[in-house]
Amino acid sequence: MHRAVAPGTTGPFTGRMHMANTIDHDYLAKRQLKKGTAGWVLLAGLGVSYVISGDFAGWNFGLAEAGWGGFAIAAVVMAIMYFALVLSLAEMSAAIPAAGGGYSFARQTMGPLGGYLTGLAVLIEYALAPAAIVIFIGAAVEELMGINGPWVYAVFYAIFIGIHLAGVGEALKTMMVISGLAVLAILATGLALVDDFDMAKLFTIAPSDVAGATELLPFGWHGVWAALPFAMWLFLAVEGVPLAAEEARDPARDMPKGIIGAMVFLLFTALLVILLLAGAAGADVIAGSGVPLVDALKTTGSGTLATAINVLGLAGLIASFFSVIYGYSRLVFALSRAGYLPKALSLTSRRKAPTWALIAPGVFGFLVSLSGEGDLILGMAVVGATISYALMALSHILLRLRRPELERPYRTPGGVVTSALALLLSLVAMTGVYAFDPRAFNYTLVLFVFGAGYFLIYGRHHLVARSADEELALILDAEHTLDENPELPVTPQHANPGTQQA
Protein backbone atom coordinates (compact mmCIF):
# COMPACT_ATOMS: atom_id res chain seq x y z
CA MET A 1 0.00 0.00 0.00
CA HIS A 2 1.33 3.39 -0.96
CA ARG A 3 2.00 5.69 1.97
CA ALA A 4 2.70 9.38 1.68
CA VAL A 5 6.08 10.51 2.90
CA ALA A 6 5.80 12.42 6.15
CA PRO A 7 6.78 16.06 5.77
CA GLY A 8 10.24 16.68 7.13
CA THR A 9 11.51 13.15 6.40
CA THR A 10 13.72 11.81 3.63
CA GLY A 11 11.85 8.60 2.99
CA PRO A 12 8.77 6.66 4.08
CA PHE A 13 10.20 5.56 7.42
CA THR A 14 13.36 7.54 8.13
CA GLY A 15 14.50 10.71 9.89
CA ARG A 16 12.70 11.52 13.10
CA MET A 17 10.64 8.36 12.92
CA HIS A 18 13.29 6.30 14.71
CA MET A 19 11.66 7.57 17.92
CA ALA A 20 8.69 5.26 17.35
CA ASN A 21 10.88 2.16 17.55
CA THR A 22 12.65 3.10 20.79
CA ILE A 23 10.17 5.23 22.68
CA ASP A 24 6.64 5.24 21.37
CA HIS A 25 6.14 1.75 19.93
CA ASP A 26 4.21 0.48 22.96
CA TYR A 27 2.03 3.57 23.08
CA LEU A 28 1.13 3.48 19.38
CA ALA A 29 0.80 -0.31 19.25
CA LYS A 30 -2.23 0.00 21.52
CA ARG A 31 -3.67 2.72 19.28
CA GLN A 32 -3.83 1.24 15.77
CA LEU A 33 -6.77 1.16 13.37
CA LYS A 34 -7.36 -1.65 10.89
CA LYS A 35 -5.48 -0.83 7.69
CA GLY A 36 -6.59 -1.49 4.11
CA THR A 37 -10.29 -1.76 4.91
CA ALA A 38 -11.75 0.83 2.53
CA GLY A 39 -11.28 1.42 -1.18
CA TRP A 40 -12.57 4.53 -2.92
CA VAL A 41 -16.07 3.13 -3.51
CA LEU A 42 -16.51 2.38 0.19
CA LEU A 43 -15.13 5.84 1.04
CA ALA A 44 -17.61 7.46 -1.34
CA GLY A 45 -20.35 5.41 0.28
CA LEU A 46 -19.20 6.65 3.66
CA GLY A 47 -19.45 10.24 2.43
CA VAL A 48 -22.98 9.68 1.11
CA SER A 49 -23.97 7.91 4.31
CA TYR A 50 -22.79 10.83 6.45
CA VAL A 51 -25.18 13.15 4.64
CA ILE A 52 -28.10 11.15 3.26
CA SER A 53 -30.47 11.83 6.18
CA GLY A 54 -30.40 15.48 5.18
CA ASP A 55 -32.40 14.61 2.05
CA PHE A 56 -35.15 13.08 4.17
CA ALA A 57 -35.77 15.84 6.71
CA GLY A 58 -34.45 19.16 7.95
CA TRP A 59 -33.53 20.93 4.70
CA ASN A 60 -37.17 21.61 3.89
CA PHE A 61 -37.60 23.96 6.86
CA GLY A 62 -35.47 26.38 4.83
CA LEU A 63 -38.46 26.79 2.51
CA ALA A 64 -40.35 28.36 5.41
CA GLU A 65 -37.48 30.81 5.91
CA ALA A 66 -36.90 31.82 2.29
CA GLY A 67 -39.55 30.34 0.00
CA TRP A 68 -38.53 28.02 -2.83
CA GLY A 69 -36.62 30.64 -4.81
CA GLY A 70 -34.71 31.91 -1.80
CA PHE A 71 -33.90 28.42 -0.61
CA ALA A 72 -32.72 27.42 -4.08
CA ILE A 73 -30.27 30.34 -4.03
CA ALA A 74 -29.07 29.34 -0.55
CA ALA A 75 -28.62 25.73 -1.69
CA VAL A 76 -26.55 26.76 -4.73
CA VAL A 77 -24.30 28.93 -2.55
CA MET A 78 -23.77 26.12 -0.06
CA ALA A 79 -23.17 23.58 -2.85
CA ILE A 80 -20.39 25.83 -4.17
CA MET A 81 -18.91 26.13 -0.68
CA TYR A 82 -18.93 22.38 -0.10
CA PHE A 83 -17.54 21.52 -3.53
CA ALA A 84 -14.69 23.99 -3.08
CA LEU A 85 -14.00 22.59 0.39
CA VAL A 86 -14.11 19.00 -0.85
CA LEU A 87 -11.59 19.75 -3.59
CA SER A 88 -9.28 21.30 -0.97
CA LEU A 89 -9.70 18.34 1.38
CA ALA A 90 -9.02 15.90 -1.45
CA GLU A 91 -5.52 17.34 -1.84
CA MET A 92 -4.73 17.45 1.87
CA SER A 93 -6.12 13.99 2.67
CA ALA A 94 -3.94 12.40 -0.03
CA ALA A 95 -0.83 14.24 1.18
CA ILE A 96 -1.45 13.78 4.93
CA PRO A 97 -3.12 10.36 5.47
CA ALA A 98 -3.98 10.59 9.16
CA ALA A 99 -7.26 9.75 10.94
CA GLY A 100 -7.61 13.27 12.33
CA GLY A 101 -8.82 14.74 9.05
CA GLY A 102 -9.18 18.51 9.41
CA TYR A 103 -7.29 18.48 12.72
CA SER A 104 -4.27 16.83 11.08
CA PHE A 105 -4.27 19.32 8.21
CA ALA A 106 -4.55 22.33 10.50
CA ARG A 107 -1.77 21.19 12.80
CA GLN A 108 0.60 21.00 9.83
CA THR A 109 0.17 24.72 9.16
CA MET A 110 -1.11 26.35 12.35
CA GLY A 111 0.63 24.36 15.05
CA PRO A 112 -0.89 22.60 18.07
CA LEU A 113 -3.38 25.35 18.92
CA GLY A 114 -4.69 25.68 15.36
CA GLY A 115 -4.90 21.91 15.05
CA TYR A 116 -6.78 21.55 18.30
CA LEU A 117 -9.27 24.35 17.56
CA THR A 118 -10.04 22.81 14.17
CA GLY A 119 -10.47 19.39 15.76
CA LEU A 120 -12.65 20.90 18.49
CA ALA A 121 -14.95 22.55 15.93
CA VAL A 122 -15.32 19.26 14.03
CA LEU A 123 -15.91 17.43 17.30
CA ILE A 124 -18.73 19.81 18.25
CA GLU A 125 -20.35 19.11 14.86
CA TYR A 126 -19.89 15.35 15.02
CA ALA A 127 -20.84 14.90 18.67
CA LEU A 128 -24.01 16.99 18.34
CA ALA A 129 -25.22 15.83 14.90
CA PRO A 130 -26.06 12.27 16.06
CA ALA A 131 -28.03 13.75 18.97
CA ALA A 132 -30.14 15.74 16.50
CA ILE A 133 -30.50 12.79 14.14
CA VAL A 134 -31.58 10.39 16.87
CA ILE A 135 -34.37 12.81 17.80
CA PHE A 136 -35.53 12.71 14.16
CA ILE A 137 -35.23 8.91 14.28
CA GLY A 138 -37.46 8.91 17.35
CA ALA A 139 -40.09 10.90 15.46
CA ALA A 140 -39.93 8.42 12.57
CA VAL A 141 -40.24 5.44 14.93
CA GLU A 142 -43.23 7.10 16.56
CA GLU A 143 -44.85 7.54 13.15
CA LEU A 144 -44.33 3.84 12.37
CA MET A 145 -44.71 2.16 15.76
CA GLY A 146 -46.20 4.71 18.12
CA ILE A 147 -43.24 4.76 20.53
CA ASN A 148 -40.67 7.48 21.19
CA GLY A 149 -38.55 8.99 23.90
CA PRO A 150 -35.27 8.38 25.76
CA TRP A 151 -35.50 4.58 25.55
CA VAL A 152 -35.66 4.77 21.76
CA TYR A 153 -32.62 7.07 21.70
CA ALA A 154 -30.70 4.78 24.06
CA VAL A 155 -31.48 1.65 22.03
CA PHE A 156 -30.28 3.20 18.76
CA TYR A 157 -27.08 4.51 20.33
CA ALA A 158 -26.38 1.13 21.95
CA ILE A 159 -27.04 -0.96 18.84
CA PHE A 160 -24.98 1.09 16.42
CA ILE A 161 -22.08 1.75 18.74
CA GLY A 162 -22.09 -2.01 19.32
CA ILE A 163 -21.80 -2.69 15.57
CA HIS A 164 -18.84 -0.31 15.38
CA LEU A 165 -17.18 -2.11 18.28
CA ALA A 166 -17.40 -5.32 16.25
CA GLY A 167 -14.88 -3.88 13.79
CA VAL A 168 -14.58 -1.33 11.01
CA GLY A 169 -15.07 -3.84 8.19
CA GLU A 170 -18.40 -4.99 9.60
CA ALA A 171 -19.43 -1.41 10.36
CA LEU A 172 -18.70 -0.04 6.88
CA LYS A 173 -20.44 -2.96 5.15
CA THR A 174 -23.52 -2.46 7.30
CA MET A 175 -23.40 1.26 6.55
CA MET A 176 -23.30 0.61 2.79
CA VAL A 177 -26.41 -1.61 2.93
CA ILE A 178 -28.39 0.93 4.95
CA SER A 179 -27.28 3.80 2.72
CA GLY A 180 -28.26 1.82 -0.37
CA LEU A 181 -31.80 1.47 0.94
CA ALA A 182 -31.96 5.21 1.62
CA VAL A 183 -30.74 6.08 -1.88
CA LEU A 184 -33.31 3.68 -3.33
CA ALA A 185 -36.04 5.55 -1.45
CA ILE A 186 -34.95 8.91 -2.89
CA LEU A 187 -34.73 7.58 -6.45
CA ALA A 188 -38.12 5.84 -6.20
CA THR A 189 -39.72 9.02 -4.84
CA GLY A 190 -38.22 11.09 -7.63
CA LEU A 191 -39.54 8.75 -10.32
CA ALA A 192 -43.02 8.74 -8.75
CA LEU A 193 -43.19 12.56 -8.61
CA VAL A 194 -41.92 13.41 -12.10
CA ASP A 195 -45.37 13.24 -13.72
CA ASP A 196 -46.87 15.53 -11.05
CA PHE A 197 -44.25 18.25 -11.38
CA ASP A 198 -45.68 21.75 -11.97
CA MET A 199 -43.45 24.82 -11.97
CA ALA A 200 -46.21 26.93 -10.42
CA LYS A 201 -46.20 24.76 -7.29
CA LEU A 202 -42.66 25.92 -6.50
CA PHE A 203 -44.02 29.37 -5.69
CA THR A 204 -47.04 28.62 -3.48
CA ILE A 205 -45.59 30.52 -0.52
CA ALA A 206 -47.07 34.02 -0.65
CA PRO A 207 -44.74 37.06 -0.46
CA SER A 208 -44.50 38.60 2.99
CA ASP A 209 -44.50 42.30 3.81
CA VAL A 210 -40.75 42.52 4.39
CA ALA A 211 -38.68 44.84 2.24
CA GLY A 212 -37.71 43.33 -1.10
CA ALA A 213 -40.24 40.46 -0.93
CA THR A 214 -41.27 38.99 -4.30
CA GLU A 215 -42.83 35.78 -5.55
CA LEU A 216 -39.33 34.40 -6.08
CA LEU A 217 -38.07 35.69 -2.71
CA PRO A 218 -41.17 35.83 -0.48
CA PHE A 219 -39.06 36.77 2.57
CA GLY A 220 -36.51 38.92 0.77
CA TRP A 221 -32.77 38.45 0.93
CA HIS A 222 -32.86 38.09 4.70
CA GLY A 223 -34.73 34.84 4.11
CA VAL A 224 -31.91 33.57 1.90
CA TRP A 225 -29.44 34.36 4.68
CA ALA A 226 -31.53 32.56 7.32
CA ALA A 227 -31.97 29.54 5.02
CA LEU A 228 -28.22 28.86 4.68
CA PRO A 229 -28.04 26.47 7.68
CA PHE A 230 -30.87 24.39 6.23
CA ALA A 231 -29.20 24.29 2.83
CA MET A 232 -26.07 23.00 4.56
CA TRP A 233 -28.07 20.03 5.85
CA LEU A 234 -28.05 18.67 2.27
CA PHE A 235 -24.25 18.28 2.44
CA LEU A 236 -23.31 18.51 6.13
CA ALA A 237 -20.58 16.04 7.23
CA VAL A 238 -19.33 15.00 3.76
CA GLU A 239 -16.07 16.57 4.90
CA GLY A 240 -15.70 13.62 7.28
CA VAL A 241 -14.43 11.22 4.60
CA PRO A 242 -10.74 12.04 5.40
CA LEU A 243 -11.31 10.70 8.92
CA ALA A 244 -11.04 7.25 7.34
CA ALA A 245 -7.61 7.96 5.81
CA GLU A 246 -5.70 5.51 8.00
CA GLU A 247 -8.14 2.73 7.09
CA ALA A 248 -8.01 3.37 3.33
CA ARG A 249 -6.24 0.89 1.06
CA ASP A 250 -4.36 3.57 -0.86
CA PRO A 251 -4.94 7.03 0.69
CA ALA A 252 -3.13 8.92 -2.08
CA ARG A 253 -5.47 7.56 -4.72
CA ASP A 254 -8.61 6.54 -2.86
CA MET A 255 -9.24 9.60 -0.66
CA PRO A 256 -9.65 12.16 -3.51
CA LYS A 257 -11.80 9.79 -5.58
CA GLY A 258 -13.92 8.88 -2.58
CA ILE A 259 -14.72 12.36 -1.28
CA ILE A 260 -15.24 13.92 -4.73
CA GLY A 261 -17.41 10.98 -5.81
CA ALA A 262 -19.56 11.37 -2.71
CA MET A 263 -20.02 15.09 -3.30
CA VAL A 264 -21.05 14.64 -6.95
CA PHE A 265 -23.68 12.08 -5.97
CA LEU A 266 -25.00 14.31 -3.16
CA LEU A 267 -25.42 17.19 -5.60
CA PHE A 268 -27.64 14.91 -7.68
CA THR A 269 -29.84 13.81 -4.76
CA ALA A 270 -30.12 17.38 -3.48
CA LEU A 271 -31.37 18.53 -6.88
CA LEU A 272 -33.97 15.75 -6.91
CA VAL A 273 -35.50 16.55 -3.53
CA ILE A 274 -35.39 20.35 -3.83
CA LEU A 275 -36.98 20.41 -7.26
CA LEU A 276 -39.39 17.48 -7.33
CA LEU A 277 -40.84 17.52 -3.82
CA ALA A 278 -41.90 21.17 -3.89
CA GLY A 279 -42.75 21.03 -7.59
CA ALA A 280 -45.11 18.09 -7.12
CA ALA A 281 -46.70 18.78 -3.73
CA GLY A 282 -46.27 22.56 -3.38
CA ALA A 283 -43.60 24.50 -1.53
CA ASP A 284 -46.04 25.41 1.25
CA VAL A 285 -46.81 21.74 1.93
CA ILE A 286 -43.15 20.66 2.03
CA ALA A 287 -42.03 23.67 4.11
CA GLY A 288 -43.75 22.45 7.27
CA SER A 289 -43.41 18.71 6.79
CA GLY A 290 -41.59 16.45 9.24
CA VAL A 291 -41.38 13.74 6.56
CA PRO A 292 -41.25 15.65 3.23
CA LEU A 293 -40.76 12.65 0.94
CA VAL A 294 -43.72 10.84 2.49
CA ASP A 295 -45.99 13.90 2.45
CA ALA A 296 -45.11 14.68 -1.18
CA LEU A 297 -46.15 11.16 -2.17
CA LYS A 298 -49.36 11.29 -0.12
CA THR A 299 -50.27 14.67 -1.62
CA THR A 300 -49.87 13.31 -5.15
CA GLY A 301 -51.88 10.13 -4.44
CA SER A 302 -49.05 7.62 -4.05
CA GLY A 303 -50.13 6.39 -0.63
CA THR A 304 -48.83 2.84 -0.94
CA LEU A 305 -45.37 3.99 -2.00
CA ALA A 306 -45.47 6.61 0.77
CA THR A 307 -45.75 3.86 3.38
CA ALA A 308 -42.71 2.07 1.96
CA ILE A 309 -40.74 5.30 1.75
CA ASN A 310 -41.60 6.04 5.37
CA VAL A 311 -39.82 2.83 6.34
CA LEU A 312 -36.88 3.50 4.03
CA GLY A 313 -36.73 7.07 5.30
CA LEU A 314 -35.87 5.63 8.70
CA ALA A 315 -32.99 3.83 6.96
CA GLY A 316 -31.74 7.20 5.69
CA LEU A 317 -31.71 8.65 9.17
CA ILE A 318 -30.02 5.55 10.53
CA ALA A 319 -27.36 5.67 7.80
CA SER A 320 -26.25 9.15 8.79
CA PHE A 321 -26.54 8.41 12.50
CA PHE A 322 -24.42 5.30 12.05
CA SER A 323 -21.73 6.91 9.90
CA VAL A 324 -21.37 10.07 11.99
CA ILE A 325 -20.71 7.81 15.00
CA TYR A 326 -17.87 6.37 12.92
CA GLY A 327 -16.65 9.91 12.18
CA TYR A 328 -16.62 11.17 15.76
CA SER A 329 -14.87 8.03 16.96
CA ARG A 330 -11.99 8.49 14.50
CA LEU A 331 -11.64 12.16 15.37
CA VAL A 332 -11.65 11.54 19.13
CA PHE A 333 -9.20 8.68 18.56
CA ALA A 334 -6.79 10.96 16.66
CA LEU A 335 -7.04 13.84 19.15
CA SER A 336 -6.55 11.48 22.07
CA ARG A 337 -3.62 9.63 20.48
CA ALA A 338 -1.91 12.99 19.95
CA GLY A 339 -2.49 13.92 23.60
CA TYR A 340 -5.06 16.68 23.07
CA LEU A 341 -7.74 14.62 24.84
CA PRO A 342 -7.29 12.04 27.64
CA LYS A 343 -5.14 9.22 26.22
CA ALA A 344 -7.50 6.45 27.35
CA LEU A 345 -9.90 7.53 24.60
CA SER A 346 -7.54 6.29 21.87
CA LEU A 347 -7.04 2.75 23.14
CA THR A 348 -8.18 0.23 20.52
CA SER A 349 -9.58 -3.27 20.98
CA ARG A 350 -8.35 -6.54 19.48
CA ARG A 351 -10.63 -5.79 16.52
CA LYS A 352 -8.87 -2.42 16.10
CA ALA A 353 -11.96 -0.48 17.14
CA PRO A 354 -11.40 2.69 19.25
CA THR A 355 -13.54 1.55 22.16
CA TRP A 356 -13.77 4.62 24.38
CA ALA A 357 -13.73 7.03 21.43
CA LEU A 358 -16.99 5.34 20.40
CA ILE A 359 -18.58 5.16 23.84
CA ALA A 360 -17.74 8.49 25.52
CA PRO A 361 -19.11 10.85 22.80
CA GLY A 362 -22.09 8.50 22.47
CA VAL A 363 -22.96 8.99 26.13
CA PHE A 364 -22.58 12.76 25.69
CA GLY A 365 -24.79 12.74 22.58
CA PHE A 366 -27.46 10.68 24.30
CA LEU A 367 -27.59 13.13 27.22
CA VAL A 368 -27.90 16.05 24.79
CA SER A 369 -30.70 14.26 22.91
CA LEU A 370 -32.78 14.18 26.09
CA SER A 371 -33.44 17.89 25.55
CA GLY A 372 -35.61 16.94 22.59
CA GLU A 373 -34.63 20.16 20.78
CA GLY A 374 -33.52 18.76 17.45
CA ASP A 375 -33.59 22.10 15.64
CA LEU A 376 -31.42 23.80 18.28
CA ILE A 377 -28.93 20.93 18.35
CA LEU A 378 -28.80 20.93 14.56
CA GLY A 379 -28.06 24.67 14.56
CA MET A 380 -25.23 24.19 17.04
CA ALA A 381 -23.75 21.40 14.91
CA VAL A 382 -23.83 23.72 11.90
CA VAL A 383 -21.93 26.44 13.81
CA GLY A 384 -19.24 23.94 14.73
CA ALA A 385 -19.11 22.80 11.12
CA THR A 386 -18.70 26.30 9.66
CA ILE A 387 -15.89 27.14 12.09
CA SER A 388 -14.09 23.96 11.05
CA TYR A 389 -14.64 24.67 7.34
CA ALA A 390 -13.05 28.09 7.65
CA LEU A 391 -10.04 26.65 9.47
CA MET A 392 -9.65 23.72 7.04
CA ALA A 393 -9.84 26.03 4.03
CA LEU A 394 -7.25 28.28 5.67
CA SER A 395 -5.07 25.20 6.24
CA HIS A 396 -5.11 24.46 2.52
CA ILE A 397 -4.06 28.02 1.70
CA LEU A 398 -1.24 28.01 4.25
CA LEU A 399 -0.09 24.54 3.25
CA ARG A 400 0.24 25.66 -0.37
CA LEU A 401 2.16 28.79 0.65
CA ARG A 402 4.41 27.30 3.35
CA ARG A 403 4.95 23.75 2.13
CA PRO A 404 5.24 23.90 -1.68
CA GLU A 405 7.65 20.93 -1.61
CA LEU A 406 5.09 18.60 0.03
CA GLU A 407 4.30 15.59 -2.16
CA ARG A 408 0.73 16.05 -3.44
CA PRO A 409 -0.67 12.99 -5.26
CA TYR A 410 -3.78 15.08 -6.03
CA ARG A 411 -3.82 18.85 -6.55
CA THR A 412 -6.90 21.02 -6.02
CA PRO A 413 -8.12 22.65 -9.27
CA GLY A 414 -7.83 26.40 -8.83
CA GLY A 415 -5.42 26.04 -5.92
CA VAL A 416 -5.75 28.67 -3.20
CA VAL A 417 -8.51 30.48 -5.11
CA THR A 418 -10.74 27.45 -4.58
CA SER A 419 -9.96 27.19 -0.86
CA ALA A 420 -10.33 30.97 -0.43
CA LEU A 421 -13.84 30.68 -1.86
CA ALA A 422 -14.64 27.92 0.63
CA LEU A 423 -13.25 30.08 3.46
CA LEU A 424 -15.34 33.12 2.51
CA LEU A 425 -18.59 31.20 2.08
CA SER A 426 -18.10 29.28 5.34
CA LEU A 427 -17.93 32.56 7.24
CA VAL A 428 -21.12 33.73 5.53
CA ALA A 429 -22.82 30.44 6.41
CA MET A 430 -21.78 30.83 10.05
CA THR A 431 -23.59 34.13 10.30
CA GLY A 432 -26.67 32.48 8.79
CA VAL A 433 -27.10 30.41 11.95
CA TYR A 434 -27.24 33.62 13.96
CA ALA A 435 -29.90 34.95 11.59
CA PHE A 436 -31.99 31.83 12.17
CA ASP A 437 -31.38 31.09 15.88
CA PRO A 438 -29.04 33.26 17.98
CA ARG A 439 -29.25 30.69 20.81
CA ALA A 440 -27.58 28.02 18.72
CA PHE A 441 -24.85 30.44 17.75
CA ASN A 442 -24.19 31.61 21.30
CA TYR A 443 -24.37 28.17 22.93
CA THR A 444 -21.85 26.79 20.44
CA LEU A 445 -19.44 29.64 21.12
CA VAL A 446 -19.66 28.83 24.83
CA LEU A 447 -18.77 25.19 24.10
CA PHE A 448 -15.92 26.32 21.86
CA VAL A 449 -14.48 28.67 24.50
CA PHE A 450 -14.78 25.99 27.18
CA GLY A 451 -12.99 23.48 24.93
CA ALA A 452 -10.25 25.98 24.08
CA GLY A 453 -9.76 26.65 27.79
CA TYR A 454 -9.21 22.94 28.41
CA PHE A 455 -6.39 22.90 25.87
CA LEU A 456 -4.71 26.05 27.15
CA ILE A 457 -4.84 24.92 30.77
CA TYR A 458 -4.19 21.20 30.43
CA GLY A 459 -4.06 19.66 26.95
CA ARG A 460 -1.09 21.56 25.52
CA HIS A 461 1.16 20.21 28.27
CA HIS A 462 0.43 16.56 27.38
CA LEU A 463 1.06 16.33 23.63
CA VAL A 464 2.72 13.12 22.42
CA ALA A 465 4.78 14.68 19.61
CA ARG A 466 6.57 18.00 19.47
CA SER A 467 5.35 18.84 15.96
CA ALA A 468 2.89 17.75 13.30
CA ASP A 469 5.74 16.35 11.20
CA GLU A 470 6.91 14.22 14.08
CA GLU A 471 3.40 13.04 14.90
CA LEU A 472 2.69 11.88 11.35
CA ALA A 473 6.12 10.29 11.13
CA LEU A 474 5.54 8.34 14.34
CA ILE A 475 2.17 7.10 13.10
CA LEU A 476 3.51 5.96 9.72
CA ASP A 477 6.52 4.25 11.25
CA ALA A 478 4.41 2.47 13.85
CA GLU A 479 2.15 1.21 11.05
CA HIS A 480 5.18 -0.05 9.13
CA THR A 481 6.69 -1.76 12.18
CA LEU A 482 3.45 -3.47 13.12
CA ASP A 483 2.68 -4.51 9.53
CA GLU A 484 6.06 -6.23 9.30
CA ASN A 485 6.00 -7.59 12.88
CA PRO A 486 2.33 -8.19 13.82
CA GLU A 487 3.32 -10.27 16.84
CA LEU A 488 5.87 -7.76 18.16
CA PRO A 489 5.53 -7.72 21.97
CA VAL A 490 4.62 -4.62 23.89
CA THR A 491 7.11 -4.16 26.72
CA PRO A 492 7.02 -1.69 29.60
CA GLN A 493 10.67 -0.66 29.18
CA HIS A 494 9.91 0.94 25.82
CA ALA A 495 7.32 3.30 27.24
CA ASN A 496 7.91 7.00 27.06
CA PRO A 497 7.74 8.59 30.52
CA GLY A 498 6.10 11.60 28.91
CA THR A 499 3.42 9.48 27.25
CA GLN A 500 2.52 6.81 29.81
CA GLN A 501 -0.12 4.28 28.86
CA ALA A 502 -3.55 5.31 29.87
Q: Would you kindly state where each structural domain of the chain is located, as residue ranges?
A: 31-464
72 and 216 in contact (C-beta within 8 Å)? Answer: no
The pLDDT profile of the chain, 502 residues, written as one tens digit per residue, is: 344 443 333 333 333 333 333 335 666 656 555 665 667 888 888 899 989 988 988 899 999 999 999 999 999 999 999 999 999 999 998 888 776 778 888 988 898 899 999 999 999 999 999 998 899 888 888 878 888 999 999 999 999 999 888 866 666 777 788 888 999 999 999 999 999 999 999 999 999 988 888 999 999 999 999 999 999 999 998 998 888 877 777 888 898 999 999 999 999 999 999 999 999 999 999 998 878 999 999 999 988 898 888 888 888 888 889 889 988 998 898 888 888 899 889 888 887 788 999 999 999 999 999 998 888 898 899 999 999 999 999 999 999 999 999 899 999 999 999 999 999 999 999 998 888 889 999 999 999 999 999 999 988 888 876 555 556 566 556 555 555 555 544 433 333 333 333 3
- pLDDT of res. 488: 47
16 and 477 in contact (C-beta within 8 Å)? Answer: no
As a whole number of angstroms, the distance between CA 396 and CA 474 comes to 23
Nearest CA to 366 among 95, 61, 127, 45?
127
Nearest CA to 123 among 94, 141, 103?
103
- pLDDT of res. 483: 53
Indicate the SS3 state at residue 145. helix
3-state helix, strand, coil in the chain (%, to 5): 75, 0, 25
- pLDDT of res. 37: 64
As a whole number of angstroms, the distance between CA 501 and CA 492 comes to 9
DSSP string, 6-67: PTT-SSTT-GGGHHIIIIIHHHHHTS-PPTT-B-HHHHHHHHHHHHTHHHHTTTTHHHHHHH
Homologous superfamily of domain range 31-464: Amino acid/polyamine transporter I (1.20.1740.10)
- pLDDT of res. 35: 61
